[in-house]
Amino acid sequence: MPRRKSQTVHRRLAQVEALQRMSEQIVRAADVDGVCQLAIDGVRSTIAPDRSAVLLLRDGAMRFVAWQGLSDGYRAAVEGHSPWSLEDPDPQPVVIPDALDEPSLAGLIDVVRNEGVRSLSFIPLVHEGRLLGKFMLYWDEVYAPSPDETRLAQAIASHVSVVVARHKHEADLQAARDRAVAATRAKGEFLATMSHEIRTPMNGIIGFASLLVEARLPGEHGEWVRTIYTSGQAMLRILNDILDFSKMEAGRFEMEIAPFDLERTLRDGISLLTPLAAAKEIDLHLDVLGLNRAIAQGDPARVRQVLHNLIGNAVKFTHRGTVTVRARIAEGTEGAEGGDRVRIEVVDTGIGIPADKIGSLFERFTQIGTSDARHYGGTGLGLAISRRLVELMGGEIGVTSESGQGSCFWFELPASRQAADVRHAA
């Protein structure tokens, strides 16, 4: 093999190996600036221009990100003053053998001359039709890079374009997420404030309506007062749901997790809804035979709230029959401290839930159907709030149901070690 041809082959092999190493380094680079600096180092070791730079399109102008051999004065004069259009990127490389005779550089000719630059080439950094920046190569004498050098520079630019586009996409996604989180938090804070402000006068209305109900006004006046009272109670429940949900959305919801007497909490929760069930002639039962005086781990006030939602729904959607609240130790499951869980079930003989609705039942503003929403009322927030409350207490919630056959809503909470001790001693 002739000596010159052998040298060419060795040079190309060295360039390929350098490109491969640089490609691996670019993929592992943590940020865009690091990627651009790797490209500068790679072109120095392969093509060896006198100067080089990577500019990226930021805030509508080309900005230097990485460079080698360029003075501060040159960068300051050139940055943001590209003579080439940024609107219609051409992915083909541009070669200017003699910069002093290039018409497009007429406005920058003194800057170029003072820097000692005589020729330059640049490869647009383009990804999916979008101009991202430019990869610049400079020489101090009249020079036109060979086709091999141009292809090598294009390969390096291609790697940089892909990584820059990926980082930009990730940054855009993060920015969009941050905006969405901020908007959700602002909305939640607004709703929390407004719900609180509305709830204060509502308590006054309900309080005075309660006094009038106790006064037992005769005839239709008594009916009007009772309507005011029940409507106020319904409005207050809606406001409480909105307040809780908005606090959760805004990250301001607080809970007090501690061991508590589950049976007592269940009895307290049921007693509040016994009059409602009796008014519909529905039997409301509590079955705690399998509980063995268990101590659960959670916030008892929030457990009562979950029970109120589940039992209230059961009574609402049951026209005749029974609603049974069962509680037991769910053996064979691991709680937050490695122990058992307590399982509470609310079983009714009501209208049931269609199979295609169960999957979205615990989503916010979800109801079985628009006709049911009009007939039964409600905001569609109760189950979403219940799920969040149970999850915040380290538990889980679910439902089994069949249309026309009733439903069984259940949730499990961690049992404290006291509960496990009581069960094993029994």
Clarify whether residues 201 and 170 are in a common domain.
yes
Domain end position, chosen among 253, 273, 305:
253
DSSP assignment, residue 338?
S
Identify how many contiguous H helices and E strands the chain contains and give both numbers: 12, 12
Which residue has better confidence, 65 or 159? 65
Res. 396 pLDDT band, cuts 50 70 90? very high
Assess whether pLDDT exceeds 90 at residue 162: no
Assess whether pLDDT exceeds 80 at residue 335: no
Clarify whether residues 202 and 344 are in a common domain.
no
- Residue matched to tokens 């190569």: 137
Res. 154 pLDDT band, cuts 50 70 90? confident
Is residue 390 a contact partner of residue 306, using CB atoms and an 8 Å limit?
A: yes
pLDDT reported for residue 242: 76
Q: What is the mean pLDDT of residues 202-215?
A: 86
Is residue 380 a contact partner of residue 373, using CB atoms and an 8 Å limit?
A: yes
Domain end position, chosen among 253, 268, 287:
253
Assess whether pLDDT exceeds 90 at residue 139: yes
Which residue has better confidence, 238 or 302? 302
Assess whether pLDDT exceeds 50 at residue 426: no
Clarify whether residues 303 and 395 are in a common domain.
yes
Residue 85 structural domain: 1-253
CA distance 322 to 285: 8
Domain end position, chosen among 229, 253, 277:
253
Which residue has better confidence, 31 or 157? 157
Is residue 323 a contact partner of residue 277, using CB atoms and an 8 Å limit?
A: yes
Task: Give the up-direction half-sphere exposure of residue 20: CA atoms within 13 A in the CB hemisphere.
Answer: 6
Q: What is the pLDDT of residues 337-376, one digit of tens each?
A: 445 789 999 999 999 888 888 888 888 766 555 445 444 4
CA distance 302 to 392: 10
> Is the model's pTM score more than 0.75?
no
Clarify whether residues 41 and 63 are in a common domain.
yes
Q: What is the mean pLDDT of residues 381-408?
A: 90
